[in-house]
Chains A and B, each alone.
Chain A
């Protein structure tokens, strides 16, 4: 077990192409950090730098007490779970799990015992003699996990391990991976482009954009106080509504926005923060025409349009209301639920 320290990590490819800039992350022993961002944001590159599959061109990387910048992947005491699993297709499940141990010169009895223990933990004991192609997607995923954990490494690195699974299995494996990680208390770095995966699995999550950290914090911090418009738009689904403050002033009573700093020229509202209840104290109200009602069983999404404004707004309600499309509805929202941003810099104000 070990901590991982990234100090001003950066990656510049030949030809001056910047992939990662000034990344500082300290992962505590046993902690699970999730790197999340859109494709091309540098999250995979960063993970591969930690793994030793990409050279580190700037900064220092420590795993435990050792600086590992120059070490081969095998010497870093990490294990990695790949997006496409990267199981050796010609080897049985047993040999897939055992390969890394064999290369490290473990004794046969020791290998046997470790493989069986990992296989039991992941419930793949009955597949040990099969080849990867004889397994289902979920089973392959478990084998890939097994290969990582037989080694009992200092850290697990996950590179979008669930993105090849169908939606149902993804939820199930998400839970299993997180439970396993908590049980083993192994330091983990997990890359995903799925904000829901990031929110549900992370002890802390890191939102990356264009190779830089936009925000680092616990899932609730990031969700309730997004530091930038990018984070606000990326985390949460449906995405946060963004309206220029001048439009907002036309929609709500004048004093409703008075508490916000003057630089707040862009206002964010989470779809679920709006309610059909009449406005109470410290709440403001806002009316719009219902264009489309999307019932989704337990909840519903309402798409609103406003007079004279091109922007639309999505409201998420925890029930399906009895309203007709085309009618005008009035919603209430708590004043502290408004997210003020500076349009020019994209930064949150206050």
Chain B
């Protein structure tokens, strides 16, 4: 890893400069993660101290993968992440392509499209929860006119659609900004060359623009999946609370509930470990991408 060609020489100063960051990381990141690893291979003792914690090898993990609720949560997380990612990126790409055509109005549209990023996921959840409210909500009212009886309190699919929309809505801004930046970095001369070569507008988009956007698209996919898996806790917790009947219990929500509501620390820790593995895989993928980009 690089430094500057010449560096300052001091025996203690760099350590002092790193100390705050490293100490906080050790106490609040490394140590708890280690604890999660340890707890994941123990069965907890009881509250009265009669039965001490016992070492149970991978029992907690085996139990998890034998548990229909956990498998269901995995499936739910998958549907939720893919749904949120596709919806949010699709809309953002459409907006970015349209805004990129504009010259004078580009900044005004951008201003209107970026601010939802400022809304906390929990608040985004509450907003859409209100709009979808079965008794007062405007959308169920409209759906009723076309004969659909919306009720996310009873219907798991309705609930899933609602949390996906709420999560995707807030993320549009982010994807939009990256797509727009990507589009603006495509040299106009390439598109003009394709036009001279006789490619139609649609053909130009799919054969020139979209392939050139693919690094950004890939990057955004990873970021969006990470967002959907971990940052949307607020959306779920503030609205459906994982229901109805577990239909929106994504993994992060389940870790929380098993740990803090059901007080099943062993299982919660095992779930944490699995989540960490997922994050590490995603981060490695993302990092490889970053390296590749740097090498361009």
Contact = CB atoms under 8 A, between A and B. Distances in A.
Nearest to A48: B6
Nearest to B9: A72
Contacts, number: 3
**How many B residues are at the interface, by size bracket?**
under 10
Contacts of A48: 6
3 contacts: A48-B6, A53-B6, A54-B6
A54 B7 CA distance: 10
Nearest to B6: A53
Nearest to B8: A72
Contacts of B6: 48, 53-54
3 A-B pairs closest in CB distance: A53-B6, A54-B6, A48-B6
Interface in A133-190: none
Chain A binding surface, main DSSP class: loop
Interface string B1-27: 000001000000000000000000000
A53 B6 CA distance: 6
Interface string A47-84: 01000011000000000000000000000000000000
Contacts of A54: 6
A228 B9 CA distance: 41
A54 B4 CA distance: 12
A136 to B, nearest CB: 28
Nearest to A73: B6
A53 B7 CA distance: 9
A68 to B, nearest CB: 16
A53 B8 CA distance: 10
A54 B6 CA distance: 7
A48 B6 CA distance: 10
A323 B6 CA distance: 57
A53 B9 CA distance: 11
Interface in A22-62: 48, 53-54
Nearest to A54: B6
Contacts of A53: 6
A43 to B, nearest CB: 16
Nearest to A72: B9
A53 B5 CA distance: 9
A51 to B, nearest CB: 10
A323 to B, nearest CB: 46
B152 to A, nearest CB: 55
B282 to A, nearest CB: 36
A72 to B, nearest CB: 9
A54 B5 CA distance: 9
Nearest to A51: B6
A84 to B, nearest CB: 13
